[in-house]
Amino acid sequence: MKILIRSAQPTDAYDIRRIQAEGWIDNNLSPVTGITQEYIAQVLKISLPPCADKINETQILIEQSPDEYLIAEIDKNVVGWVVRHSYTEGVWAFGIYVDRLYRGKGIGTKLMAQFLSKYPDEKFKIIVSKSNTAGIRFYTGFGFQIRGEKKDHFNDDAVNHLPIVIMQNYD
């Protein structure tokens, strides 16, 4: 299985949104948290299949900043992606997602390694659901450390009770 890592194109927008929705659904649906697929679709505007306005929004973002996205591709199929975006002055955030059919095959590791090598001197911060133990282990393997926990990170009362951890690759 040959994994190609490349810059994103606007035509990748549908797959980016599909894979993101799968990731959110797989990592956050839970009777414990109270998050439902309907909640994700309505409040977070993430749905399967992806809605047209979010696909268009993603196409515009790619056109404006194509180098911020890296795509993982196998046999011309988008199977994962990572994007860099601003967090606070001097610190960047990122999102990384892998298609649920391709998880555990080294795609996320390859994407993350190439992403971090592209920005070797950048400071990154990411929030991770505290229940996403696989994600926490993954980021720890790349030198990220837990720097705190929060419950009120989101601008939405319905998810402010969700415990998250803050991880970063700097002191």
Could you tell me if residue 23 is inside a domain?
A: yes
The per-residue pLDDT for 29 is: 62
Could you tell me if residue 51 is inside a domain?
A: yes
Stretch 85-108: mean pLDDT: 88
pLDDT above 70 (res 80): yes
- Let me know: does 3 contact 110? Beta carbons within 8 Å: yes
Count of Cβ atoms closer than 10 Å to residue 23 Cβ: 21
Query: In the structure, what pLDDT confidence band is assigned to residue 79 with cuts at 50, 70 and 90?
Result: very high
Q: How far apart are CA 114 and CA 161, in angstroms?
A: 34
Could you tell me if residue 149 is inside a domain?
A: no
Could you tell me if residue 163 is inside a domain?
A: no
Domain range for 40 is 4-124
Could you tell me if residue 19 is inside a domain?
A: yes
Nearest to 24 by CA among 43, 10, 8, 5: 43
pTM for the complete prediction? 0.81
The per-residue pLDDT for 15 is: 94
User: Domain total for the chain?
Assistant: 1
| ∠ CA 163-88-92, rounded to 5° | 80
Taking all residues of the chain, what is their mean pLDDT, rounded to a whole number?
84
Could you tell me if residue 144 is inside a domain?
A: no
Q: What is the CATH number of the domain that holds 26?
A: 3.40.630.30
Could you tell me if residue 132 is inside a domain?
A: no
Could you tell me if residue 140 is inside a domain?
A: no
Task: Tell the residue number behind the tokens 């606070």, with chain if given.
Answer: 88
Beta-ladder partners of 85 = 93
